[in-house]
Structure formats: C-alpha cells, structure tokens
C-alpha cells in the first residue's frame, strides 16, 4: 500500500499451503508443499519460464460473469493500455468444476480477452471438483493448452499462490510485473509506474 511511483514489490512462492479448511483451529494450517507448475514441462524441470506484462485478473467465477457486458471492456483496455507491455492474466476459482473452468476460459478467448497476453497464472482452486475423470490438470494442460492458449502461444503457470487457498500473494491490477518460475519455485516482481 505504501509503495511509491517507480518502486517495486517482490513476492515469492510459499514453502507450504493450506490443503483444506478447519474452522475449529485458528490461523492457517500450512500443511502441503507448494509447487508452481508449468504447462508443457515436467514438474521437476529446472527449465525456467519468464514473462512480463501488466497484471489483470481475479476470481474466474466473478470475471466470467462480466464477459460481453459493458462492465468489462477488455479488448479496448488492452489496446489502449497493454498493447506495448502485454498482459499477464491471473485467475483462480472457487466452487467450479474442471469443466466449468474450461468453458469459462474458452468463452473469454472467444471474446478476445487473451489478445496481447504474455502469460497466464492460475491459482489453486478452492471448493474444486473434477467432472467425472476430467480433472483441473486436464482442463488446463490437455484441453486448455491445445484449444485455448496453444494457438496464442501463451505460457501458463498453475497452482500459483493466488486466490482462495492460503497463503496468497497480493497482485495489483494494472501493475507492471515480471514473473519467473523454475523447478516449482516462483517469483513475481511488481512495478508501479
């Protein structure tokens, strides 16, 4: 909140995250090792991924309801403010199935939301359920990679520390950011310029 113009904030992936909620115990119960995953790379790959752009995003459950309305002029915003820098989309979901996630991302692509996109971050979902044997990894890796992001050549990192599952990084829409991730560890540097 106190970061001034032209200053930066660096946030790194957590060591552990909370796998489930137990409201009878106060505070966080960080019990599962954090691993940021990259589509198209082995989980333990040391190959790094790096991209930069202006941050845009939020909860997919909410954002997808705005697609096609005057309250989300994404194409116009992207052309006016992000054509030079590009966009890093960050999203997460709460109470969605794998099929819901796929359908919402497909709809956003069809409406031009992912034009000028340099990278995509997807957080750990909360209240998630697979659709029969169609899992989140299927939606993002096998289906979304080939039908939504692949033709746009957008790198995708998922299981990121954003959203409804603690701990969460704080991302600011419109901030210029650089994202790097390798071997399950990630970092986001935000600049306010």
Helix ranges (H only) for the chain are: 60-63, 74-77, 98-110, 136-137
Pairing of β 117-123 and β 87-92: parallel
Least confident of 26-35, 74-83, 97-106, 184-193: 74-83
pLDDT in tens, 109-123: 888 898 889 999 999
Q: Contact, 92 vs 123, CB < 8 A?
A: yes
Residues 67-99 as b/e (b if ≥16 CB within 10 A, e otherwise) read beeeebebeeebeeebeeebbbbbbbbbebbbb
> Where residue 151 falls among pLDDT bands split at 50, 70, 90?
low
Q: Which domains does the chain have, with CATH numbers?
A: 8-191 (3.50.30.60)
Q: What angle do CA 147, 43, 9 make, to 5 degrees?
A: 90
Residue 56 clears pLDDT 90, i.e. is over it? yes
CA–CA distances in Å: residue 129 to residues 38, 94, 99: 21, 10, 9
* Torsion over CA: 31, 37, 42, 46 (sign): negative
**Paired tokens of 124:** 């750990």
Report which of residues 14 and 81 the model is more confident about.
14
pLDDT in tens, 69-128: 999 998 888 888 778 899 999 999 998 988 898 889 888 888 889 888 999 999 998 877
Q: What angle do CA 132, 120, 114 make, to 5 degrees?
A: 95
Q: Taking Cα atoms as reference points, which of 161, 145, 164, 165 lies closest to residue 153?
A: 145
Q: Taking Cα atoms as reference points, which of 19, 89, 51, 17 lies closest to residue 182?
A: 51
Q: Taking Cα atoms as reference points, which of 53, 14, 30, 8 lies closest to residue 160?
A: 14
Sheet containing strand 117-123, strands side by side:
8-12, 185-191, 176-182, 49-59, 87-92, 117-123, 156-160, 37-38
Looking at residue 172, its pLDDT comes to 94
What mean pLDDT, rounded, does the chain reach?
Answer: 86
């Amino acid at each position: 909140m106190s970061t001034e113009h032209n200053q930066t904030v660096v946030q790194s992936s957590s060591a552990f995250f909370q796998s489930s909620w137990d409201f009878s115990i106060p505070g966080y119960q960080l019990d599962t090792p954090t691993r940021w995953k990259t589509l198209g790379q082995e989980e333990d790959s040391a190959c790094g991924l790096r991209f930069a752009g202006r941050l845009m995003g939020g909860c997919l459950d909410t954002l997808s309801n705005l697609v096609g309305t005057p309250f989300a002029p994404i194409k116009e915003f992207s052309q006016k403010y992000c054509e030079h820098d590009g966009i890093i989309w960050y999203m997460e979901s709460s109470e969605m199935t794998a099929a819901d996630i796929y359908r919402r991302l497909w709809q956003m692509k069809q409406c031009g939301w992912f034009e000028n996109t340099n990278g995509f971050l997807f957080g750990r979902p909360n209240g998630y359920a697979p659709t029969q044997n169609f899992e989140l990894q299927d939606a993002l890796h096998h289906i979304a990679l080939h039908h939504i992001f692949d033709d746009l050549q957008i790198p995708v990192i998922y299981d990121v520390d954003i959203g409804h599952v603690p701990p969460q990084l704080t991302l600011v829409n419109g901030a210029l950011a650089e994202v790097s991730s390798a071997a399950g560890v990630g970092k986001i540097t935000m600049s306010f310029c």
